[in-house]
């Protein structure tokens, strides 16, 4: 096996792995946007995807970053956002999850992830995954050491159609151990004319998810993941509306 430094992708990841906003915030909330970006280094040729596919939801969570930034601004809360596409490595999956570096996303094959050697996979972990999660851990560590309350919330979006089936759900609150916190958010959203549910359209799985189980539940912190259907996050007015819905509840 080649060493990490012998990866075929050596030197490709020159941009920082994440953007950190409002690090010194006094608000208890740490917002996390693991699928904020569709950026793939040019040398990787969009991982063999068509121009259109590389800009679709498979590469990032459309609207999630804008919503996370809106919430960060409205609350004055810290935001940690990824700067690379989840197709390179998914920051909300454990390192060794089967879909950590996906070979397929819904109906799309990802040719550039096929037949990667372990050195290249480890290089992506080293350049993209480790810095993001180490920074999130240190943010939490510092606040816990100061005796400050901490809540960790991931901001995501989902597609209105999945494998050809339409989704009526407009927002989901995903959680593991933070049931009371999640229910407060669900109840608050339900006061608006919205189709909202807990642990839909996905469920938090300790074997398949990262942010909530590792940085929240395992540390005894209130932690949820917010999913908003991405056709509801397409305009500045949409972002403002969902910011207003969510900010008082988080």
> In percent, how much of the chain has pLDDT > 70?
98
Cα–Cα distance measured from residue 228 to residue 155, given in angstroms and rounded to the nearest whole number: 8
**Can you spell out the DSSP letters for 2-19?**
--GGG-TTTT---S-SEE
Residue 6 has a CB neighbour count (10 Å cut-off) of 12
**Can you spell out the DSSP letters for 84-141?**
S-TTT--TTS-TTSTTSS-SEETTEE-GGGTT--HHHHHHHIIIIIHHHHHHHHHHHH
Q: Peptide bond preceding 201: is omega within 30 degrees of 0, i.e. cis?
A: yes
Confidence of residue 1 (pLDDT cuts 50, 70, 90): very low
pTM for this structure?
0.95
Which is nearest to 154 in space by CA: 233, 241, 246, 237?
Answer: 246
Tokens 């004319």, residue?
A: 193
Tokens 């953007």, residue?
A: 19
Condensed to tens digits (0 to 9), the pLDDT of residues 85-130 reads 999 999 999 998 989 999 987 778 999 999 999 999 999 999 999 9
Cα–Cα distance measured from residue 107 to residue 58, given in angstroms and rounded to the nearest whole number: 9
Do the Cβ atoms of 93 and 133 come closer than 8 Å? no
Do the Cβ atoms of 12 and 41 come closer than 8 Å? yes
Condensed to tens digits (0 to 9), the pLDDT of residues 188-216 reads 999 999 999 999 999 999 888 999 999 99
CA distances from 186 to 19, 92, 206 (A): 29, 22, 22
In angstroms, how far is the first alpha carbon of the chain from the final one? 46
The domain locations on the chain are 4-249
Which residues make beta-bridge pairs with 33?
81
What is the arithmetic mean of pLDDT over 29-45? 98
Name the CATH superfamily housing domain 4-249: Zn-dependent exopeptidases (3.40.630.40)
191 secondary structure, DSSP code: T
Cα–Cα distance measured from residue 32 to residue 71, given in angstroms and rounded to the nearest whole number: 11
């Amino acid at each position: 096996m080649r060493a990490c430094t012998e990866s075929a992708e050596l030197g490709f990841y020159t941009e920082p792995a994440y953007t950190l906003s409002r690090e010194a915030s006094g608000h208890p909330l740490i917002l996390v946007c693991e699928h904020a970006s569709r950026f793939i280094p040019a040398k990787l040729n969009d991982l063999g995807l068509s121009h259109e596919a590389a800009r679709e939801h498979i590469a990032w969570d459309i609207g999630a970053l804008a919503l996370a930034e809106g919430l960060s601004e409205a609350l004055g809360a810290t935001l940690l956002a990824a700067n690379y596409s989840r197709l390179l490595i998914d920051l909300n999956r454990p390192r060794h999850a089967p879909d950590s570096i996906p070979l397929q996303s819904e109906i799309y094959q990802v040719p550039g992830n096929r037949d990667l050697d372990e050195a290249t996979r480890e290089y992506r972990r080293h350049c993209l995954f480790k810095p993001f999660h180490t920074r999130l851990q240190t943010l939490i560590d510092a606040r816990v050491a100061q005796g400050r309350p901490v809540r960790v919330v991931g901001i995501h979006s989902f597609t209105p159609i999945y494998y050809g089936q339409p989704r009526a759900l407009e927002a989901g609150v995903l959680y593991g151990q933070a049931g009371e916190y999640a229910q407060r958010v669900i109840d608050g959203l339900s006061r608006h004319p919205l189709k909202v549910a807990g642990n839909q359209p996905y469920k938090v799985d300790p074997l398949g998810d990262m942010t909530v189980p590792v940085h929240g539940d395992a540390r005894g912190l209130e932690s949820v993941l917010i999913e908003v259907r991405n056709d509801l996050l397409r305009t500045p007015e949409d972002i403002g509306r969902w910011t207003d819905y969510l900010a008082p509840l988080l």
